[in-house]
Amino acid sequence: MKNNIVLIGFMGSGKTSVGKRLAGKIKYKFIDTDEWIEKTEKMKISEIFEKHGEEYFRNLETNTIKELISSTKSTIISTGGGMPLRECNARLLKELGVVIYLKASEEITIKRVKGDTTRPLLAGDNLEERVNRLLTERMPVYEAAAHKKIITDNISFELIIEEIMKYYSEAAFFSGASGN
Ligand code: S3P
């Protein structure tokens, strides 16, 4: 396992905000896989979905994790909400680093993603129904893909970061996580 910290979870669970703060605090680099894909493809995620479809995007996600496994260390990696859906990705994520699942309640998730136009899977009517369906499908996937789950409802960024660091230092100690 590499010594990275990988954040997974549903859209709006705070992966990017927590990841950036955590990286600043412990002086790690920060990578967001959606931004990485947008940069390499020179297209917005919504355009990729529109032009090439979801399957194509999922292939880009798989390629991204493989590339990050060979190129990163001491990095906080925030992933797109669908990253662990493919079984092979879930396995690769655990090679990439210590995998932390950030879990927000359905109610808070809906509040955070309401009005957002950048996420193709939430576009259209019936946001509540979409979120409910996707969360129900994905919850067990996130649980299985993570080394550790943190429920983020009503706790501060500081506390979330503290919990991550506590787990990370123990996990690194027991697994011999490597910066190589
Ligand atoms: C997706 C989540 C998005 C982005 C894409 C698909 C998903 O990332 O990768 O729109 O399937 O949950 P965020 O979780 O950062 O919003």
Q: What is the pLDDT of residue 130?
A: 95
Atom nearest to 122 CA in ligand 1: 10
Taking the C-alpha atoms of residue 76 and residue 14, their distance in angstroms, rounded to an integer, is: 13
**What is the pTM (predicted TM-score) of this model?**
0.96
Q: What is the pLDDT of residue 180?
A: 64
Rounded CA-CA distance 124/2 in Å is 39
Q: Best of 78, 121, 135, 152 to mutate for ligand 1, by most ligand atoms within 8 A of CB?
A: 121
Total residue count of the chain as it appears in this document: 180
Positions of the chain with pLDDT lower than 50, given as ranges: none
